[in-house]
């Protein structure tokens, strides 16, 4: 799976988190519980309250680039976890 597709798939998983059920929701919930407070705030505002990155960065007094890097870092780490889980399920 190429990098852009993996990123988009994880982005959509977070975007649709509230509608998910089962194992994938449990994995995402466990991952979200490991985030620090700043990461949680950025992800919460962006994915669950649907704020734009510029609005979040203004609210938190960060640059937009820093806010975007936080979001991308979280998505990258979650995509690795989801990809590992997907590979495990394929091998079973």
The pTM for the full model equals 0.80
pLDDT in tens, 2-40: 567 777 888 888 888 888 888 888 888 999 999 999 999
For the chain, domains (ranges, CATH) are 3-14+23-91 (1.10.10.10)
Contacting residues for 71 by C-beta, under 8 A, at least 6 apart:
42, 43, 46, 53
DSSP class of residue 89 equals: H
pLDDT digits (tens, 9 = 90+) for 35-81: 999 999 999 999 888 899 999 999 999 999 999 999 999 999 998 88
3-state secondary structure (DSSP) of residue 91: helix
The Cα–Cα gap between 61 and 33 comes to 24
């Amino acid at each position: 799976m190429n990098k852009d597709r993996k990123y988009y798939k994880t982005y959509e998983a977070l975007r649709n988190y509230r509608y998910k059920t089962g194992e994938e929701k449990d994995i995402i919930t466990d991952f979200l519980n490991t985030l620090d407070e700043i990461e949680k705030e950025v992800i919460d505002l962006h994915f669950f309250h649907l704020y734009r990155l510029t609005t979040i960065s203004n609210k938190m007094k960060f640059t937009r680039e820093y806010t975007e890097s936080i979001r991308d870092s979280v998505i990258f780490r979650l995509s690795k976890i989801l990809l590992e889980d997907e590979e495990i399920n394929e091998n079973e």
